[in-house]
Chain A
Amino acid sequence: MEVTLLVHATDQAFEIIENARRQAVELLNSTVGLAAEEQRWLEEKRIRALFTGAQAVKTRRLNFLGTFFILFFVWCILSGHFDAFHLSLGVICCGLVAHMSHDLLFANVRFVDMRTIAKRFIAYIPWLLGQIILANIHVAGLALNPKMPIDPKIIRFKTKLESDVSWVTLANSITLTPGTITVDIKEGEFFVHALSKKVARDLLSGEMEDRVAHIYMEADHIYIQDVLDMAHIYGLFRGIGG
């Protein structure tokens, strides 16, 4: 009799412990579930922000800072006074102008590394100067030749460049080179006045266009850059899926 009672009590005790354990496991599970839910929600929010607002805000802040520092450099060159009073005036003025015009200086620039563009642009200038000197000699030869073997005509070609800054760089490079003048740009089509067959041939060979495309990482470069831009976002997606 006592033994059966004891066994019964032990059974009951085991049952209670089992119940408690099950409840604890359920509780823990639901907590873990909630935490995972919360984390997924946060991740989703981060991704949504990446695609919409945050990117714009970040770009605006970068534009502001970039404009501010360039303008402050110009201010220091102009001013020549380096006491605290004039420098603080400069900070105020640069902040004011950067606030007014931060979207003007860097508008239509794709989200790429500005330092690379600056470096490549500086490397482009000596080549352009060399071309200008060569074309100068050619045009001087045409002008001094008694027969004047000129063949003026307007040539038009479709460019592979995409942004307005690169169009303007190419157009001004063409105009700076003697013998050729950019007349107009209409929807990516250049109208160029060329003085002789040689300069027209040089222009249509497209070397200048290739070099400008290289500066701004356009045309052939765009695919590589796009992959690099997307890699970060793709990594985020994979982190959630796995």
Chain B
Amino acid sequence: MTRATDDVIIKTVSRIFTPFIQIFALYVIMHGHHSPGGGFQGGVILGASFILLVITQGLDRTRRRFSQKLGTIFCSVGLLIYSGIGILCLILGGNYLDYGKLNKILPVIAAEARSLGILGIEIGVGIGVMAVMYSIFSDIVTGGE
């Protein structure tokens, strides 16, 4: 499975569709506070686009595009964004993830601060889930070494 597929049709079609899958994933993440979807779903789609690349182009070429080290960093960055926003709300005098309190540092009213806070959480969750999905898949494929 770590080798590239030798089917020209699958290889070419997945190559052409990968950017569109990725932009759809980012759309799902960024519109999570307006429409169905959100960080987890978008992150899974984004991770799936990289898994598709691994299946069709082989692990080596995908690692060159998105290394394992970058995956580990993104795992931590996603979690850091999530917990950072939560703890920021605690520091500003609310509960954990009480986004309304963010209007003390953002130049907007409480309702808009709530919306922006949710967007930040979605981005954090999306990055984290994408990196974890990709890491799990590449660990399974390589047998964990």
Q: Hey, which chain A residues are within 8 Å of B9, CB to CB?
A: 167-168, 171-172, 182, 185
Segment of B24-32, B75-83, B99-107, B136-144 engaged in the interface with chain A: B24-32
From residue B139, how far is it (CB to closest CB) to chain A in Å?
A: 21
21 contacts between A and B (CB under 8 A): A67-B19, A70-B19, A71-B19, A71-B23, A75-B23, A75-B27, A86-B30, A89-B30, A93-B26, A97-B22, A97-B26, A98-B19, A101-B22, A104-B18, A105-B16, A165-B12, A168-B12, A171-B9, A182-B9, A184-B7, A185-B8
Where chain A touches its partner, the secondary structure class is: helix
From residue B6, how far is it (CB to closest CB) to chain A in Å?
A: 9
Closest to A97 in B: B22
From residue A184, how far is it (CB to closest CB) to chain B in Å?
A: 8
Check if B69 is an interface residue, CB within 8 A of chain A: no
Q: Hey, which chain B residues are within 8 Å of A79, CB to CB?
A: 27, 31
**Contact, CB under 8 Å: A101 / B18:** yes
Check if A100 is an interface residue, CB within 8 A of chain B: yes
Check if A202 is an interface residue, CB within 8 A of chain B: no
Instruction: Select A107's contact among B13, B15, B22, beta carbons within 8 Å.
Output: B15
Interface residues of A in 85-144 (CB under 8 A from B): 86, 89, 93-94, 96-98, 100-101, 104-105, 107
**Contact, CB under 8 Å: A164 / B8:** yes
The docked-state distance in angstroms from the alpha carbon of A151 to that of B82 is 63
Where chain B touches its partner, the secondary structure class is: helix
From residue A108, how far is it (CB to closest CB) to chain B in Å?
A: 8
B interface residue count range (under 10 / 10 to 19 / 20 to 34 / 35 or more) = 20 to 34
- Using a CB–CB cutoff of 8 Å, the interface residues on chain A facing chain B are 67, 70-71, 74-75, 78-79, 81, 86, 89, 93-94, 96-98, 100-101, 104-105, 107, 164-165, 167-168, 171-172, 182, 184-185
**Contact, CB under 8 Å: B27 / A167:** no
**Contact, CB under 8 Å: A97 / B13:** no
CB within 8 Å for A93 and B27 given contacts A101-B18, A101-B19:
yes
The docked-state distance in angstroms from the alpha carbon of A171 to that of B10 is 11
Q: Hey, which chain B residues are within 8 Å of A104, CB to CB?
A: 15-16, 18-19
Closest to A166 in B: B12
3 A-B pairs with the lowest CB-CB distances in the bound complex, closest first: A93-B26, A101-B19, A168-B12
**Contact, CB under 8 Å: B30 / A94:** no
The docked-state distance in angstroms from the alpha carbon of A3 to that of B23 is 99
**Contact, CB under 8 Å: A93 / B23:** yes
Q: Hey, which chain B residues are within 8 Å of A165, CB to CB?
A: 12, 16
